[in-house]
Amino acid sequence: MGFKVAIVGATGNVGREMLNILSERGFPADEVVALASARSQGTEVSYGDRTLKVSNMENYDFSTTDICLMSAGGDVSKKWSPKIGAQGCVVIDNSSAWRYDQDVPLIVPEVNADAIEGFRKRNIIANPNCSTAQLVVALKPLHDAAQIKRVVISTYQSVSGAGKEGMDELFQQTRAVFVADPVETKKFTKRIAFNVIPHIDVFMEDGYTKEEWKVLAETKKMLDPKIKVTCTAVRVPVFIGHSESVNIEFENEITADQARDILREAPGCLVIDKHEDGGYITPVECAGEDATYISRIREDATVENGLNIWVVSDNLRKGAALNAIQIAELLVNRGLIKPRKEAA
């Protein structure tokens, strides 16, 4: 007997990717339901070789559903996730609405799988921010080996992190530049075509942006609250795939060769690190892939026990949809949930 899975926000970039990955990975679902707002009702989305018609989530009864993959934004999640969880359906939420709630586990399966046991308090599990997910996959094995003291991150985040509107804006602006049309800016604060913008999400009182704060708070919650973290988040004119330049300072000695060996054995990591032209990964190669790629591993001579690494991953997959489905798989594989049909 398989599970019944509902996807809220099924028409968005991440929702569609969730449907693809559920099918690709053969998740044990007897029934998959595509849900969205009233304006998307009747839209068709693909699930493997099938087509699903999108229903209005407002009219849906979650009491017969086992897992809800929530990808409809923070406001929708704040309103609906507690209601859905109260009906006995486990919500795996992709927004920032629940990540910092002490009663909601924030999970990257390769990093802190055991923390999932706490989901029963609210029946909600949080998916981390896209840039944090790939970061902690790379940091966890290194932290276990040599204990991280401090991390400095500069992100190079693709426009798909801002949704379909962000991707459309990059495309339209790029075309406008080539044909000498006026460049219109709607989604981003400045032109994104042939430019970079050191501003993602809203500014906070201390001068950091909310995106930068998310990386700090989530890394501490999932990895170790004692680690000092600072971040600069930058939007770049790339369609899919976030990149990160990461400088790490450790308590204990670790060499670049040791780090390479550790990361080659680590779950979810793929090391591509040759000291030659093209011997590293870029976002173009990571799009559509599941791994967190790590390149440019080298020692930082300016601090004791320092390393620099380059981390790249598909933000729609490991940064969002894939991680959510890995969380669902974790629930199933550990026997933490059973199909409600079977229980009945």
Residues in the annotated binding site for phosphate: 99
- 130 in catalytic set: yes
Which residues are annotated as part of the binding site for NADP(+)? 11-14, 39-40, 160-161, 182, 315
Binding residues for substrate: 157, 235
SS3 content of the chain, % helix, strand, coil (to 5): 40, 25, 35
In the set 89, 143, 231, 242, the catalytic residue is 242
Of 68, 130, 231, 269, which one is the catalytic site residue? 130
Q: How far is CA 78 from CA 55, 72, 81, 297, in A?
A: 20, 10, 6, 40
* Cα 206-209-213 angle, rounded to 5 deg: 85
Binding residues: 11-14, 39-40, 99, 157, 160-161, 182, 235, 315
Half-sphere exposure (CA, 13 Å, Cβ side) for 6?
25
Beta-strand ranges (E) seen in the chain are 3-8, 29-36, 44-47, 50-53, 55-56, 67-70, 90-93, 124-126, 148-157, 228-235, 242-250, 269-271, 292-299, 306-313
Residue 242 is among the residues annotated as catalytic for this protein:
yes
Spatial strand order of the sheet with 67-70 comes to 55-56, 29-36, 3-8, 67-70, 90-93, 124-126
Q: Which residues contact 116 (CB under 8 A, 6 or more apart)?
A: 105, 107, 125, 327, 330, 331, 334, 336
Residues assigned a catalytic role: 130, 242
